[in-house]
Structure 1
Amino acid sequence: MVDIIFTRIYHSLDEEFGYLSKFGYVEISNGLCWLAAVARQHKYNVEIIDALPLKLNNNDLASEIAKKSPKYVGITACSIDIYGAFDFASKLKSIRPDIVTILGGAHITAVPRETMERFPSFDIGVIGEGEDTIIDLLDSLEEKNSKKLSDVNGIIYRDAGNISVTNPLRSIVDMDSLPLPAWDLLPNINKHFFAPPWTMHSGKTVTIITSRGCPYQCIYCDRKIFGNKVRFHSAEYVKDMIKTLHFKYGILHFRIADDNFIVNKKRLREICDLLRKENIKVTWSCLARVDSIDSENLALMKKAGCWSIAFGIETGSQKIHDFEKKKVTLEKIESAVKLTRKAGIRTIGFNIIGHPLETIETIKETINFNKKIKIDDFKTQFMVPFPGSELYQIAEQYGTFNKDWKSMSVFQEPVFVPHGLTKEDLIKWNKKGFWSFYLQPRVILAYLTHIRSFNDMKMIFMGGFTLISWKIKALFYPKHN
């Protein structure tokens, strides 16, 4: 008998990425895999049914889980998926009202009480990191310990018609105490998951996380789950993750999704040395802050297989950076990109359209700044003041803000529109920035020289077709673009 099934719901690429759905992707949920691994380590019978890659709608997912008769179902959901998760939980309850539904993830952590009040089909919510909490919770429900639900830290639950919140749980200190994620419980990794096409590593690619937490205070980020203190897996643990995925699952490229992978220079060097010492022939990419870049470590990263680094450029306006507490300068961004490109590592610029204080001129500054510093890939998304962020509390002082949780996609229509701009302005300039960047001859040439496979060629063709179609629409239907 299955004790607990962990799941996330399905949504289409169109629902998440909108007009960029051709460039959409489905990545593994490391969170579900760690929860499952910890539960299994504590002798619970565990399964993962990941509806997203399997494309199971809520009816089919509820039916599939009900057939397996678990005692508990753990659901992860971000803000955009919270209504869908509620719909799934309601359908499951209509079939098997005895199954206890446990909700975790960024959304319930950010707004726990409001979420439980709105959605009665969730029995219990896990607030914050879930690995320690889920064991205490399951042991309490199974009466393996003497704890009542009120004694389990880090949860919100229903209690005789009321909603109760327990004391917060302390963050995990020893990250290596976690077992390796239970990737074996996922559907076939190479068949069902795929990376963003622009990585040019669309085959046999997975995302891994090697640290948690961020010490910075950017107002648009939600740090409620992992906190402001960075906690690291050791270099040995990271090597074991990469080695397992490479040799057991045939993974060739790794997207390291830490907020700032290279902030711990000593650990960075140890990881690079281990990959080279053990002759693990993989490539990898990571995220980094521009103020953590130096030539010596870039050279080591390149030798260890680093293929690209993504920087949070966000805007070409220093005024906006300062307002949002980013604590970087445009000069530092330009220097970091120059050093990275000199080391032979591709650079990706993540940018946001629609900041507080944004104007048409600052959007132009963002587009032109990315061109000026010769970033290799220019990525944009709309500003979304997510629950749990500082901006969520103050956004309406600086523009109109649609707080409908199910609309909070960074790629769909803007939910936040700064004063002085319209939604149509943001959509128009987002598209204009995209095609004006990618129609640069140097960018086209760079993409053509990086073709390694038919999938790469297909991605470039789709991208080119999309750019041309946008340009034609802009010329002949200017009011709609």
Structure 2
Amino acid sequence: MGKETIATKGPTSKDIRPCEVLFINPPWVSKTQNIRSGMKHAMPPLSILSIAAYLESQGRQVQVLDAHVERLIDHEVCDAIRRANPKWVGVTVLTATSITAHRIARLVKSTCPDCQVVFGGVHAEAVPEETLANSSVDFVVRGDGEEVFLNLLHAEDPRTVNGICYREGTSVTYNSPAEVIMDLDKYPRAAYHLVPMHLYYPAIGAYKNLPAINMMMTRGCPGKCTFCNSANTTLRTRSAARVAEDIRYLHETYGIREVEFFDDTFTVMVKNVKEFCRLMKEANLDVVWTAYIRADCFNEEMGHAMRDAGCHQVLVGVESGNMKILELLRKTISLDRTKRAVRIAQKCGLDVRGSFILGNVGETTETMMDSLRFAMELDAELVNFHINTPYPGTQLYKWAKENGVLVTEEWTEYELSTFLLKLPTVTAQQVFSFYDEAHRRYFFRWGPIKTRLKRMRSRMQVRDAIKAFFYVMLRLKPHKASAFSRAWAQNCKGDFFDVPVGFEEANSTLTWELRQGPEASENKPTPLDLYGLPAASQENMSKVRLADN
């Protein structure tokens, strides 16, 4: 067996057996052939695996169906649900998967009519009234799901369960928020044993070794970025010892040789990161890893410690090369500080993946050019350009909805590659054209090409390089959309809303308002004007406000 192959495979849909709780990861399919759709990963759904592990530790019978990675279509999903015959089904919901999630709910009810369907995740908790307009959805969990889901299983009356909302007739009842659990070590290791580990794969360009898997050490983020639904959420961490122990388990059980940390800000908890690096260096496993860093929470000491512990790549959220745009995004890390962090990482032997956002509020063709120029100046080993997307639960979405500048709320368009704002300073065509141009101009240089060639160590990486050429340079997929993609991409959200639930703006909740720990109880937002718009548009948008949280 080759080193790129998972040593222990894990159960698939064919292994589903009767259980009390079945968790389902819905398919993520793209209607358009955008760059992101060709480059994205398929990794274990950590949120439901954490809840599943906790329920198992409390004696509950739990199974997981990953319809996305197994590329299951309707009748295969129904077959698995029928074999499980669960009392409860939990579905994790991202904005881009919300339509397939609603379809899954319909399939559940058609197969097991008495089953209770629970939606959770950042999208469901941000738009609970819309979610519950689907008669096949019974509850929405808001916030962390471990304790809430267990309490829901125990409860005789849903009114006693904090952290949920549910439908009563055509009204939605909102229970009090659940307590934010600060001690993440109370939860067991994610239930990797419940999913087909051999089917998961990382994004193109994001890995060095295979097999690779994802993990999280922290939850929450102290940043205030307007585009992110993790902004200003209470930061908590698992202990370094527990994380290092889990990596050893994954390496010894599944042969994992790379871990991708999906934490929003891995390096913020400095003491814990340093202890983790010490433990990983001491363990001397054949495991490398990557992490997201903040430029203002990274120095040379940390860079060397991470490199010595096996880290080979860091992702830096640069966002823009224009300080005025960064101020509007509330990502007020100076360009000099970002440049210094990139140089430190490279000096320490770490590859850098820079992330930029185009089409921001206040954006012009010149500010987008500033971003491209700064990207070239940084000369990171990899760069991702995304189009600003107003995800529900973010300050940007709340502002855009209140001011009537959203192009659409058809959630399948929310994939970081569609321009969804009507802005007075830049057109959709200008953003799309620059999006293509930025990728071509950045990667059609000898430096990035030479770097990628030097780093190719396997046939998989050669294959990925060929795919990336088609996706990024030619904007083509070297194959047609599969039957799986066609099967799940045929719906829009209006197909599922059959209950006339009222949609009140008062309940358009920001994610951070649901995920505040006890120390933040007095943290009340104050309004902030969106400066930087042209004078002509200031009059038209005089009511524009963002929560200063």
Q: TM over 0.5: same fold?
A: yes
Query: Which residue is 2:177 aligned to?
Result: 168
Q: Do the aligned partners of residues 300 and 371 (structure 1) sit closer, same or farther apart at CA in structure 2, a change above 3 Å counting?
A: same
Query: Which residue is 2:286 aligned to?
Result: 281
Q: Looking at secondary structure, tell me which structure has more helix per residue.
A: 1
Query: Which residue is 2:150 aligned to?
Result: 135
Query: Which residue is 1:100 aligned to?
Result: 116
Q: Is the 8 A contact 1:384 1:408 kept in 2?
A: no
Alignment of 1:389 onto 2:405: no
Query: Which residue is 1:144 aligned to?
Result: none
Deviations 1:44-71 (A, max 9, x none): 1100001010111234313321232111
Alignment of 1:423 onto 2:438: no
Deviations 1:56-91 (A, max 9, x none): 123431332123211110011112222221122112
Q: Equivalent residue of 2:23, what SS? A: strand
Q: Equivalent residue of 1:197, what SS? A: coil
**1:67-86, aligned counterparts within 5 Å?**
67-86=83-102
Query: Which residue is 1:311 aligned to?
Result: 316
Q: Do the aligned partners of residues 22 and 3 (structure 1) sit closer, same or farther apart at CA in structure 2, a change above 3 Å counting?
A: same
Which is worse superposed, 34-43 or 395-404?
395-404
Which is worse superposed, 339-348 or 154-163?
154-163
Query: Which residue is 2:269 aligned to?
Result: 264
Which is worse superposed, 304-313 or 52-61?
52-61
Which amino acid counterpart does residue 299 of structure 1 have in structure 2?
H
Query: Which residue is 1:455 aligned to?
Result: 460
Which amino acid counterpart does residue 124 of structure 1 have in structure 2?
F
Query: Which residue is 2:481 aligned to?
Result: none
Alignment of 1:58 onto 2:58: no
Q: Is the 8 A contact 1:310 1:347 kept in 2?
A: yes
**1:29-428, aligned counterparts within 5 Å?**
29-116=45-132, 118-141=133-156, 148-159=157-168, 162-187=171-196, 189=197, 191-201=198-208, 203-223=210-230, 228-395=233-400, 400-428=405-433
Q: Equivalent residue of 2:205, what SS? A: helix
Query: Which residue is 1:474 aligned to?
Result: none
Q: Is the 8 A contact 1:356 1:395 kept in 2?
A: no
Residue 27 of structure 1 deviates from its aligned partner by: 1.2
Q: Do the aligned partners of residues 178 and 85 (structure 1) sit closer, same or farther apart at CA in structure 2, a change above 3 Å counting?
A: same
Which is worse superposed, 196-205 or 380-389?
196-205
Q: Is the 8 A contact 2:356 2:385 kept in 1?
A: yes
Q: Is the 8 A contact 1:16 1:412 kept in 2?
A: no
Which is worse superposed, 64-73 or 359-368?
64-73
Which amino acid counterpart does residue 123 of structure 1 have in structure 2?
D
Q: Is the 8 A contact 1:59 1:88 kept in 2?
A: no
Residue 465 of structure 1 deviates from its aligned partner by: 4.0
Deviations 1:100-139 (A, max 9, x none): 11111111211222321x2221011111100010110001
Find the aligned partners of 2:239 and 2:117 in 1 and give their Cα distance.
34
Residue 268 of structure 1 deviates from its aligned partner by: 1.1
Deviations 1:115-170 (A, max 9, x none): 21x222101111110001011000115xxxxxx21011001123355421111001
Query: Which residue is 2:40 aligned to?
Result: 24
Q: Is the 8 A contact 1:407 1:415 kept in 2?
A: no
Q: Is the 8 A contact 1:348 1:375 kept in 2?
A: yes
Q: Is the 8 A contact 1:205 1:255 kept in 2?
A: yes
- Supply the RMSD in Å over aligned alpha carbons: 1.9
Q: Do the aligned partners of residues 318 and 74 (structure 1) sit closer, same or farther apart at CA in structure 2, a change above 3 Å counting?
A: same
Q: Do the aligned partners of residues 59 and 436 (structure 1) sit closer, same or farther apart at CA in structure 2, a change above 3 Å counting?
A: same
Find the aligned partners of 1:163 and 1:396 in 2 and give their Cα distance.
21
Total equivalences in the alignment: 459
Find the aligned partners of 1:396 and 1:69 in 2 and give their Cα distance.
40
Q: Is the 8 A contact 1:194 1:202 kept in 2?
A: no
Query: Which residue is 1:6 aligned to?
Result: 23
Residue 202 of structure 1 deviates from its aligned partner by: 6.4
Q: Is the 8 A contact 1:357 1:398 kept in 2?
A: no
Which is worse superposed, 87-96 or 48-57?
87-96
Which amino acid counterpart does residue 230 of structure 1 have in structure 2?
L
- TM-score by length of structure 2 reads 0.80
Q: Equivalent residue of 1:120, what SS? A: coil
Q: Do the aligned partners of residues 268 and 19 (structure 1) sit closer, same or farther apart at CA in structure 2, a change above 3 Å counting?
A: closer
Query: Which residue is 2:497 aligned to?
Result: none
Which amino acid counterpart does residue 267 of structure 1 have in structure 2?
N
Q: Do the aligned partners of residues 55 and 466 (structure 1) sit closer, same or farther apart at CA in structure 2, a change above 3 Å counting?
A: closer
Query: Which residue is 1:476 aligned to?
Result: none
Find the aligned partners of 1:262 and 1:349 in 2 and give their Cα distance.
16
Which is worse superposed, 294-303 or 84-93?
84-93
Residue 215 of structure 1 deviates from its aligned partner by: 1.2
Q: Do the aligned partners of residues 248 and 90 (structure 1) sit closer, same or farther apart at CA in structure 2, a change above 3 Å counting?
A: same
Find the aligned partners of 2:404 and 2:168 in 1 and give their Cα distance.
39
Which amino acid counterpart does residue 126 of structure 1 have in structure 2?
V
Residue 228 of structure 1 deviates from its aligned partner by: 2.2
Residue 405 of structure 1 deviates from its aligned partner by: 4.0
Q: Do the aligned partners of residues 382 and 265 (structure 1) sit closer, same or farther apart at CA in structure 2, a change above 3 Å counting?
A: same
Deviations 1:428-480 (A, max 9, x none): 11111011111111111111000100111111122234455359xxxxxxxxx
Find the aligned partners of 2:228 and 2:33 in 1 and give their Cα distance.
20
Which amino acid counterpart does residue 112 of structure 1 have in structure 2?
P
Unaligned runs of 5+ in 1: 142-147, 472-481
Find the aligned partners of 1:153 and 1:396 in 2 and give their Cα distance.
28
Q: Do the aligned partners of residues 466 and 166 (structure 1) sit closer, same or farther apart at CA in structure 2, a change above 3 Å counting?
A: closer
Q: Equivalent residue of 1:385, what SS? A: coil
Q: Is the 8 A contact 1:348 1:379 kept in 2?
A: yes
Which amino acid counterpart does residue 172 of structure 2 have in structure 1?
I
Percent identity, aligned pairs only?
A: 25
Q: Is the 8 A contact 2:97 2:412 kept in 1?
A: no
Query: Which residue is 1:477 aligned to?
Result: none
Q: Is the 8 A contact 1:75 1:102 kept in 2?
A: yes
Which is worse superposed, 454-463 or 176-185?
454-463
Find the aligned partners of 1:204 and 1:25 in 2 and give their Cα distance.
13
Q: Is the 8 A contact 2:81 2:111 kept in 1?
A: no
Find the aligned partners of 1:419 and 1:63 in 2 and give their Cα distance.
50
Residue 17 of structure 1 deviates from its aligned partner by: 6.7
Q: Do the aligned partners of residues 412 and 334 (structure 1) sit closer, same or farther apart at CA in structure 2, a change above 3 Å counting?
A: closer
Find the aligned partners of 1:378 and 1:469 in 2 and give their Cα distance.
17
